[in-house]
Amino acid sequence: MTCLQQLNLSETKIERLPSLSNLSNLCQLLLRNCVNLKELPPLESLSKLEELDLCGARSLEETEAKFLENMVHLRFLNLSGTALKLPPTSNLTNLTNLTQLLLQRCRLSELCPNLEKCTQLEVLNLSETDIQSLPSLENFSNLRDLNLRDCSRLEKLLCLKSVTHLEVLDLWGTRVKEFPYEISQLTHLKRLTLPDLKDVQTLDWGKIKNLPEELNWDQCGIFKCSQNRPCMSLSGTEFFQYLKTNPGLWETCFKEFQFSVCAHEKEGPARDICWHRVDPNFREIYFQILSLPEEHGKYLEIVGFDIFPSGVEDALQKAEYISLIDNKFIKSLSDLAAGVESINVGNVMAMKGCWLERSTEMQTIFGEKAKVLMEENLETLWASNLPILKSVSNGNLQLGHLKKLYLDCCPMLETVFHSSRLPENLEVLQIKFCDKLKTLFMPNPSTDCKLRNLQKLHLVELPNLTSIGVLESKSVQDIFPSIKLIKVRECPNLENLDKIRTSNQS
């Protein structure tokens, strides 16, 4: 049988194997859960072997697996649960093609195995071994799964930031007593099992920029430490589900917060942007661009959800500043409520500022059910890249507390305000790149149309804008008595442009 490429005797009662010395073309030797297997024949001749699975062969004699030294093509090696002893790693320098190395409960010749030649590894399982320190992972950019569960002598982790594609990290049962802050650079991490950190005295939330979608919240005890203003990017809503079952954490740990929650399916470059926004080097610049107040308290960002992200209701209710990016479930701000049939506008009563970006389904910002909600606290509104937005409100909303309004790249918007419902306290109005915009608001002879507190008016690249809503009998100063700065650029059809500029100079 010299041409045989696969030999699978898994789950059998075999006690001994025949000679395999002539199977020089064998690529797969599968002996998984052969619990009665007591001895292996010489395997040194299997130089083409790519997969060797001895997991669960617990009756094997306790010998050193020297045969591995010649298996230069080996990609998959599973010795978990066997008595075989891994040779010194200095003798395994030829295993450069290994992609999966599974050594759960194995005996190792070294307490810190050197695997620097195994740079192709994608899965490394050293759980329940006696390692005292993690081997260098500096060049392990392909590693996806690292299992160190119950390595009871392991105290420190080094250089996790280099395993940039890591998706799963299990540290439960180790003696690691510090939070692995380097995980904040692992943007693909999906599941993290932390050790017991209940005795940690302080936790620097400024260094924890993200947490994965799966984390052993109840076991790890990271919320036992005093915290101040956590700033995290989160994948999925599992974290908020945990907070829902532990509401006391809002008062003990999250009196202030900055959360960015991204849908699971939003991976790749779009997801990376979310992570970068919570990096302190980028966050300050990003918030300045959004005109977010320097002291902005509780901030929540929701990114990339097609349906309402169930679980974030408590965070929405508490957040003072909310950013909604690339969400298809939003047709108006009323949709922030979880239930379509029984919308509770009180869900976001604390909101002082709202930022809307790339909400492709939004036709109006304030729907009919948003009246009580929006009249209460909203001071700043920023709307950008809303391709089908036709109106800011349905005309029944006063927006009495609104002070700053920014509209950018809303190509279907034709008018901003209804003359009967002007935001009386508006101080800043900036409108850019709204191709169909014709007027800020329709003039009404029977209504005293004034924005009494407007101080800054910026109009940029509005090719169809013909009027800002000033009647022929009124000057700009009449309608904007507090105006201090007017900037108008590339608005070729705007009537009385010279009058506006003159008013600005005066």
> Cβ(213)–Cβ(190) under 8 Å?
yes
Residue 446 has pLDDT above 90, yes or no: no
Percentage of the chain modeled with pLDDT above 70: 80
pLDDT score of 375: 53
Residue 428 contacts by C-beta under 8 Å, 6 or more apart in sequence?
Answer: 403, 404, 405, 406, 454, 455, 456
356's enclosing H/E stretch is strand 353-357
Burial of 121 per CB tally in 10 Å (0-12, 13-18, 19+): buried
| Domain locations in the chain as residue ranges | 229-401, 414-506
Residue 237 has pLDDT above 90, yes or no: no
pLDDT score of 183: 86
Which carries the bigger pLDDT value, residue 337 or residue 223?
Answer: 223
What is the model's pTM? Answer: 0.68
Residue 349 has pLDDT above 50, yes or no: yes
Can you list the positions of beta strands (E) in 368-420?
380-384, 391-393, 404-408, 415-417
Mean of the pLDDT values across residues 291-313?
83
- The CA-atom distances, in angstroms, between 344 and each of 224, 250, 371 are 33, 21, 12
Residue 304 has pLDDT above 70, yes or no: yes
CA–CA distance, 249 with 227 (Å, rounded to integer): 10
Which carries the bigger pLDDT value, residue 345 or residue 145?
Answer: 145
pLDDT score of 426: 92
CA–CA distance, 153 with 176 (Å, rounded to integer): 9
Residue 261 has pLDDT above 80, yes or no: yes
Q: Cα dihedral sign for 140, 144, 145, 146?
A: positive
Identify the weakest region by mean pLDDT among 60-69, 253-262, 350-359, 437-446: 437-446
Helices (H) and strands (E) in the chain, counts: 9, 27
Q: How many residues does the chain have?
A: 506
Which carries the bigger pLDDT value, residue 214 or residue 395?
Answer: 214
| pLDDT band at residue 369 under the 50/70/90 scheme | low
Distance of CA 144 to the CA centre of its chain: 18
Identify the weakest region by mean pLDDT among 73-82, 119-128, 270-279: 270-279
Q: Pick the most confident of 48-52, 244-248, 301-305.
A: 48-52
333's tokens: 């701000």
Identify the weakest region by mean pLDDT among 45-54, 81-90, 116-125, 226-235: 226-235
CA–CA distance, 501 with 77 (Å, rounded to integer): 77
Cα angle, residue 32 at apex, residues 27 and 37 outer, rounded to 5°: 105
pLDDT score of 3: 87
- The mean of the pLDDT values for the chain is 82
Which carries the bigger pLDDT value, residue 125 or residue 281?
Answer: 125
Cα angle, residue 14 at apex, residues 10 and 19 outer, rounded to 5°: 95
CA–CA distance, 120 with 117 (Å, rounded to integer): 8
Mean of the pLDDT values across residues 263-269?
60
**pLDDT tens column, 131-161:** 888 877 888 889 999 999 999 999 888 778 8
Q: Cα dihedral sign for 346, 350, 352, 358?
A: negative
pLDDT score of 478: 74
Q: Pick the most confident of 291-295, 411-415, 497-501.
A: 411-415
pLDDT score of 504: 55
Q: Is 501 helix (H, G, I), strand (E, B) or coil?
A: helix
Cα angle, residue 214 at apex, residues 213 and 215 outer, rounded to 5°: 120
Distance of CA 304 to the CA centre of its chain: 10
Q: Pick the most confident of 61-65, 76-80, 250-254, 279-283.
A: 76-80
Instruction: State how beta strands 51-53 and 28-30 pair.
Output: parallel
Only one residue has tokens 């890591």, namely: 166
Q: What number of other Cβ atoms are within 10 A of residue 235's Cβ?
A: 26
pLDDT score of 343: 42
| pLDDT band at residue 275 under the 50/70/90 scheme | very low
CA–CA distance, 405 with 423 (Å, rounded to integer): 10
Residue 420 has pLDDT above 70, yes or no: no
**pLDDT tens column, 14-38:** 999 989 988 989 999 999 999 999 9
Beta bridge partners of 329: none
Q: What number of other Cβ atoms are within 10 A of residue 157's Cβ?
A: 19
pLDDT score of 279: 56
Backbone angles phi, psi at 53, to 5 degrees: -125, 110
Residue 448 has pLDDT above 70, yes or no: no
Mean of the pLDDT values across residues 384-408?
84
Residue 189 contacts by C-beta under 8 Å, 6 or more apart in sequence?
Answer: 166, 167, 168, 169, 183, 210, 212
Residue 320 has pLDDT above 80, yes or no: yes
Transcribe 198-257 into DSSP letters.
TT-SB--TTT--EE-SEE-HHHH-GGGSB--S-EEEEESSHHHHHHHH-TTHHHHT-SS-
Identity (one letter) of the amino acid at 264? H
> Cβ(397)–Cβ(374) under 8 Å?
yes
Q: Is 268 helix (H, G, I), strand (E, B) or coil?
A: coil
**pLDDT tens column, 195-231:** 988 777 667 766 777 778 788 877 887 776 545 556 7
Which carries the bigger pLDDT value, residue 307 or residue 213?
Answer: 307
Percentage of the chain modeled with pLDDT above 90: 32
Q: Is 181 helix (H, G, I), strand (E, B) or coil?
A: helix
